[in-house]
Amino acid sequence: MERHPYVLAAIDEISRRAVTVTGSEEVGEAVQKALEELRAYWLKMTKANVGTQLGYRTRKDGQTIGLLRQPGQGMRILTRLW
């Protein structure tokens, strides 16, 4: 995931769509920065927990770290944008 082309393409596309929707390059840049920070956080999580993998939700298998949280379960990185 560190330099995976799909991840990089997704970040670029989401940022581009943010500009299209809002008409603001500044918003697009903020979205791109937040997504890059989130990608770095996910990489840090996987490196700190060797033998684990990322998933949509944390599983009770001792191997899957969840990327998504239910509302009200604490601050998320992307919430800074809104």
- Among 78, 6, 60, 31, smallest CA distance to 68 is for 78
Tell me the pLDDT band of 82, cut-offs 50, 70 and 90: very low
Rounded distance, CA 57 to CA 67, Å?
Answer: 6
- Among 31, 28, 44, 35, smallest CA distance to 7 is for 35
* Residue the block writes with tokens 């008409």: 23
Model confidence over 14-70: pLDDT tens digits? 999 999 999 999 999 999 999 999 888 888 887 888 888 878 788 888 888 887 766
Q: Is the per-residue pLDDT at 1 higher than 80?
A: no
Rounded distance, CA 65 to CA 77, Å?
Answer: 16
Looking at 23-78, list the stretches that DSSP marks H as alpha helix, in order from N- to C-terminal side: 25-48
Backbone φ and ψ of 54, nearest 5°: -90, 145
